């Protein structure tokens, strides 16, 4: 007959092992929302009361709280509803720069882009998802190198 002590030990062991198995099979990362260009365009600030989204470096931010910058008729409305990486890097509102294309940007512009990405967007606005270009390869297969951005100071409700 096992003693009560041995029985308790057995229960603790089972629970611990069970926990281990559960942790091992937990998904490595949380699911993230993917935005196509068309989907992102819906959040361009034209509809009053709707959220406003903008992507920088393929990361989609909810910039609704910056409505005075990004809302309808606001000075930087052209940047929203799309990936405006190039415009942010060059500090330009030229329609030709309203794109995710970083080809030909100078070292200085790339540095400025990273500073604004970290210091303004990631610090100020919650991440709501990623553009298809950031998550997928050109052939539509998942990009194995994709890693979600770290943003522990915001608690976003799960979409799934």
By CB under 6 A, name the binding residues for ligand HEM: 66, 69, 76, 79, 87-88, 91-93, 120, 124
Q: Decide whether 94 or 159 has the Cβ nearer to ligand HEM.
A: 94
As measured in angstroms, the least distance from the Cβ of 37 to ligand HEM is 19
Contacts of 54 (CB under 8 A, 6+ apart): 60, 61, 63, 70, 79, 80, 81, 82, 84
Q: CA dihedral in degrees (20, 21, 23, 26; nearest 10)?
A: 180
As measured in angstroms, the least distance from the Cβ of 76 to ligand HEM is 5
As measured in angstroms, the least distance from the Cβ of 26 to ligand HEM is 35
Q: Decide whether 59 or 88 has the Cβ nearer to ligand HEM.
A: 88
């Amino acid at each position: 007959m096992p003693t009560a002590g041995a029985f308790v030990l057995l229960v603790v062991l089972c629970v611990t092992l069970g926990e281990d198995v559960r942790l091992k099979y937990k998904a490595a990362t949380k699911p993230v929302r993917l935005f196509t260009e068309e989907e992102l365009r819906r959040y361009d600030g034209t509809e009053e009361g709707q959220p406003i989204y903008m992507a920088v470096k393929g990361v989609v931010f909810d910039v609704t709280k910056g409505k005075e910058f990004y809302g309808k008729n606001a000075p930087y409305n052209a940047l929203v509803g799309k990936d405006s990486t190039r415009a942010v890097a060059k500090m330009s509102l030229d329609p030709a720069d309203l794109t995710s294309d970083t080809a030909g940007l100078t070292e200085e512009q790339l540095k400025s882009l990273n500073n604004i990405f970290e210091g303004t967007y990631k610090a100020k606005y919650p991440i709501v998802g990623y553009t298809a270009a950031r998550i997928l390869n050109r052939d539509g297969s998942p990009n194995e190198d994709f890693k979600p951005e770290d943003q522990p100071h915001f608690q976003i409700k799960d979409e799934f």
